[in-house]
A = this chain, B = another copy of it.
Amino acid sequence: MFQTRLKETASLIEAHLQAVMAPLGDLPVVEAMRYASAGGKRLRAFLVLESARLHGVAQANAIWPAGAIEMIHAYSLVHDDLPCMDDDELRRGLPTVHVKWDETTAVLAGDALQTLGFESVSRSECHPDPLVRADLTVTLARAAGAQGMVLGQALDIAAETAPTPLTLDEITHLQAGKTGALIAWSATAGAMMARADTAPLMRYATDLGLAFQIADDILDIEGDADKVGKAVGKDVDAGKATFVSLLGLDGAKARARDLVTDACDALSPYGQDADTLREAARFVISRDS
């Protein structure tokens, strides 16, 4: 069920992003925006659509925040891949934006993808109630900004030159910003759109986000670069503290499994309706890319 819905999400998002970007013309910066936001697992968009479905929110509305979160995610990857950041040449098995075009285009395409993401959640098509749109926009900004994703990125970069490796608490805090905040926003978006209690989905997403990052650290050790679509072994080579270096491979796997169990339990108010989200949590720690 989850795999089917994830594939459906991917097709819906591709079509949506194409439509939203159609009026932007074909300058290199716009082509780079299309390129950077194409492909990927669409896990964040799936979380938006699935939490919306759980709350009876129309997909025609939910596709807007789903598209927005994928744009924000794509912008962060384009900037993250820059030579002055992680300096990655490969993403999803393809050349990164600054390799295919140049750094200038990568900076501007990332900038404009962020802008378009915020436009998407404030547009009237996103939700009939403007208060919901304003809430989605403010919470998305908090998840993406200097108290969320950018904070995590900044801590990650500071860690590279820190005299001692990060502790487990510090890495958990870093991750909660870097990947956790956008995942939490995605999973709670449907509840926000229905003006329902976001607490169960927030608990689910917090555990899921941490499990996701632990799985990423495991993939960096055990993953196959061809399947992962980007370089692996970078963290070990850089001597960075990761969940694996701190917990050991078996300890990290056990911790990820426990988090997935907790994430599934947090969904009990939704009963069996949330089974696809439970499958998603199990997928996150079993994926090979």
Which A residues contact B (CB, under 8 angstroms)? 23-24, 27-30, 33, 75, 79, 82, 84-85, 102-105, 107-108, 110-112, 114-116, 118-119, 122-124, 129-131, 133-134, 137-138, 141-142, 144-147, 150-151, 153-155, 157-158
Q: Give the residues in chain B near A124, CB-CB below 8 Å.
A: 134
What is the copy number of this chain in the assembly?
Answer: 2
- For residue A133, which residues in chain B have a CB less than 8 angstroms away from its CB? 122, 130, 134
Q: Among the listed B107, B138, B142, which residue makes an inter-chain contact with A107, where contact means beta carbons less than 8 Å apart?
A: B107
**Distance in Å from the Cβ of A279 to the closest Cβ of chain B?**
32
Contact B112 A84 (CB under 8 A): no
Q: Which residues of B contact A155 (CB under 8 A)?
A: 27
Q: Which of A82, A102, A124, A141 has the most CB of B within 10 A?
A: A141
Q: How far is the CA of A115 from the CA of B75 in the complex (A)?
A: 12
Residue contact A123 to B147, C-beta cutoff 8 Å: no
Classify the interface of chain A: helix, strand, loop or mixed.
Answer: helix
Task: Give the residues in chain B near A102, CB-CB below 8 Å.
Answer: 84
A137 touching B153, Cβ below 8 Å: no
Instruction: Show 10 A/B contacts (Cβ-Cβ < 8 Å), sorted by A.
Output: A27-B151, A27-B154, A28-B158, A29-B146, A85-B104, A110-B111, A119-B142, A122-B122, A122-B133, A123-B138
From residue A83, how far is it (CB to closest CB) to chain B in Å? 8
Q: Are B147 and A24 closer than 8 Å at their CB atoms?
A: yes
Smallest beta-carbon distance A161→chain B, Å: 11
Q: A130 vs B86: C-alpha distance in the bound complex, in angstroms?
A: 39
Given contacts A79-B107, A154-B29, contact A145 B116 (CB under 8 A): yes
CA distance in complex: A20, B90 (Å):
37
- Measured in the bound complex, the distance between the Cα atoms of B115 and A150 in whole Å is 10
CA of A151 to CA of B144 in the docked complex: distance in angstroms? 23
Judging by beta carbons under 8 Å apart, are A29 and B137 in contact? no
Chain B nearest CB from A155 CB (Å) reads 7
